[in-house]
Chains A and B, each alone.
Chain A
């Protein structure tokens, strides 16, 4: 069964009458992991931009609104979603139209996360239907709001396990005048992280720091400012090796490919690991001792994408994170037990308790984030 409500009220009624669990989806482009449900609840029918105030940097949209529609609307005002959400279709080979609800549900953030924050930092408010069919709201459409508990953060990255989102308010940002990238030919991950740390620990506001072959460092802003910062950074980074410049369109294309992890699309196994940047080279060295894989580093070394054709690294990465902090998600993994990082017992109890309050009947994406 594929349920496709067109309005929030219709959705609430459907949920109240549900007899069996459902898999929630927006455009269905980011389905990772396994859900213990046969039926699908598709939210892309609840669509449309509700309010957009460019002078206030805020946008309110129904959750099923296509991301492309929002990006086009913002672009016309020279604004954007500055957390740079990845398009999972490239890596996962999925079809369909990504929705803003899917972006928020998965807390999808790209390379700029290291400088401006994650999707969850730009989510100002939500409306959603809980597991009892109640329409609830939290947050609002203003940038500063500490009225009551912040359930918006909880909904962002809950992968549809807490409720079916119907409306989302977002903070948007102006587009910069220009962007440019420095490429640094460093290969060892330890050197790469050191170079990225040097750049991110400078006053030059690096908005992307990744290693995909070379190390790439992005600067955005007004033209004179970008020119000045590139020069200052070059001077600072020369001790790591030769530095090259990548301008405008080529820079934009480069970061889109990094954002979408395009170079790993051909691989069957992909794991995403978030660790403290200085811990990442230690982890990679341990992993390389027993496994064969390719690595793409983002977020100044705080995020690693690991890819392989036959080696399921996910279990190793999750075990390492359980012992050393951080988390690993098995994005593409035929052998997976659970795609998400298992939580320490006391945290798992809290998460389970929260899920139980939002969805007492266990209707929404059961077993996706934790196996009960």
Chain B
């Protein structure tokens, strides 16, 4: 992965920059020793590493403002970081950048159950937001798999999704307002505790902008009362096509499950071995979860049963109690760990129109033969968000490159059938160079023009999202 070469002029400023940052954040707020900086050399895209020049850990919006103002004055690039769980390299630094981590900003600032909102500092983890309102039976809906660790700051930056977004939406649908610090240190309030924008929807623009427009330090989030209950059903099929048709029929019947998860034969086997979930031996497996009271759940599962039966499932297993529900989910939830135990892997994140599922899976199978690497598929089937997992051997020279070429071809296929490169992980550095497969140069130019407005010097996370060649003129002109 190509990154811009570190600028010696910036590297030469390290001592002066450290001194100025320590003056406003204190010694404990600035990390400058090489050994300590190793902790920030990568995020969850661990194939690429580079320690930053410095890392700062502010405790407040005011601290963030002071730190950014200094970096802005000294023309030093800043890479914002939540918890560093990005799978796309969104928080990967360059050697001449400052990591600005919000991990010390975890407070709950306000909870208003009558208005169904919570305001938190952005370093708070996703799960700890729900944790703060659970005693009143409320929850925060977006649930990325990394929710135990990932921060709201990163969720906002990447517009994170999760398994339950079929019903509840992704981050942008649950975010009501942010306090954001601009690169020059100015603090802005966008949105708030009311619905929708009075002017342009800048909040919608900021959510998913991958830390390139500003540093979000506080967020107002929508919270909901928990459903009375939830229960999954497991349905096995002997072909991907039939499983896909069943998904489509469930959706058309007006049932709105909270989740419809799909696994192919390879994943079924690997996950079953790992978790002892007791999955059937079949080509495709669906896990469909519905919510409501006991009677409502029974009614919906009855409808799903009737629909599934028309497609001759290999197995239809309804969870009758919490233990069985846990077993059904156990394999799916452990998918990444299970694969990780078997092999190194790369997780893709393209989205396709759901009708294209059988075709895309067939083509991925063909590519697997061509590249000589195995692949397994998990899939948020209700919304078309695929997660092909390509297996490779990190210790075998050249294998990562083959894997990346395979991945790129899969993502291009997603675009070709009417989908997109990334459904919930973000572009980061990982998919940066594929952007021109989805967008025309003018489309990207308009997106970059938006960054020009928010960050005219292109100092915030500058080498991400856009192909380096596309952003080069702007990055260089800003220097």
- A-side interface residues toward B, CB under 8 Å? 53-58, 77-78, 107, 109, 113-114, 117-118, 120-121, 130, 134-138, 140-154, 156-158, 161-162, 173-177, 193-194, 197, 200-203, 222, 224-225, 228, 274-279, 299, 302-303, 321, 325-329, 340-341, 343-344, 346-348, 350-351, 353-358, 369-370
Q: Which residue of chain B has its CB nearest to the CB of A353?
A: B453
Q: Say yes or no: A274 contacts B438, CB within 8 Å.
A: no
Q: Which residue of chain B has its CB nearest to the CB of A128?
A: B446
A-B contact pairs, 21 of them (CB 8 A): A56-B384, A57-B251, A114-B195, A142-B351, A143-B384, A144-B380, A144-B423, A146-B208, A146-B423, A147-B421, A147-B427, A147-B438, A153-B172, A153-B203, A197-B115, A224-B295, A327-B196, A327-B197, A350-B202, A354-B450, A370-B199
Q: Say yes or no: A151 contacts B198, CB within 8 Å.
A: no
A143 in contact with B226 given A107-B201, A328-B198 (CB within 8 Å): no
Chain A residues positioned under 8 Å from B113 (CB to CB): 197, 201
B116 within 8 A of A: yes
B114 within 8 A of A: yes
Q: Say yes or no: A147 contacts B252, CB within 8 Å.
A: no
CA–CA, A130 and B445, complex, Å: 12
Ordered nearest first, which 6 A-B pairs have the shortest CB separation?
A153-B204, A327-B198, A55-B248, A341-B198, A353-B453, A174-B254
- Against A, the Cβ 8 Å flags (1 = close, 0 = not) of B191-231 are 01111111111111101110000000000000001111000
Q: Say yes or no: A351 contacts B200, CB within 8 Å.
A: yes
- Against A, the Cβ 8 Å flags (1 = close, 0 = not) of B358-372 are 000000000000000
A346 in contact with B225 given A58-B353, A225-B299 (CB within 8 Å): no
Chain B residues positioned under 8 Å from A53 (CB to CB): 353-355
Q: Say yes or no: A54 contacts B252, CB within 8 Å.
A: yes
Chain A residues positioned under 8 Å from B209 (CB to CB): 149-150
- Residue total for B at the interface (Cβ-Cβ under 8 A): 95
Q: Which residue of chain B has its CB nearest to the CB of A149?
A: B447
Q: Which residue of chain A has its CB nearest to the CB of B112?
A: A278
What is the distance, in angstroms, from A301's C-beta to the closest C-beta of chain B? 8
What is the distance, in angstroms, from A280's C-beta to the closest C-beta of chain B? 9
What is the distance, in angstroms, from A217's C-beta to the closest C-beta of chain B? 14
Q: Say yes or no: A150 contacts B208, CB within 8 Å.
A: yes
B420 within 8 A of A: yes
A143 in contact with B115 given A55-B355, A354-B450 (CB within 8 Å): no
CA–CA, A162 and B225, complex, Å: 37
CA–CA, A370 and B249, complex, Å: 47
CA–CA, A137 and B439, complex, Å: 8
Q: Say yes or no: B450 contacts A276, CB within 8 Å.
A: no
Name which of B158, B353, B380 has the most chain A CB atoms within 10 A of its CB.
Answer: B353
The listed residue (A55, A56, A148) touching B439 by CB distance below 8 A is A148
What is the distance, in angstroms, from B249's C-beta to the closest C-beta of chain A? 8
CA–CA, A346 and B113, complex, Å: 30
Q: Which residue of chain A has its CB nearest to the CB of B439?
A: A148
B165 within 8 A of A: yes
The listed residue (B114, B205, B426, B442) touching A197 by CB distance below 8 A is B114
B169 within 8 A of A: yes
Q: Which residue of chain A has its CB nearest to the CB of B137?
A: A203
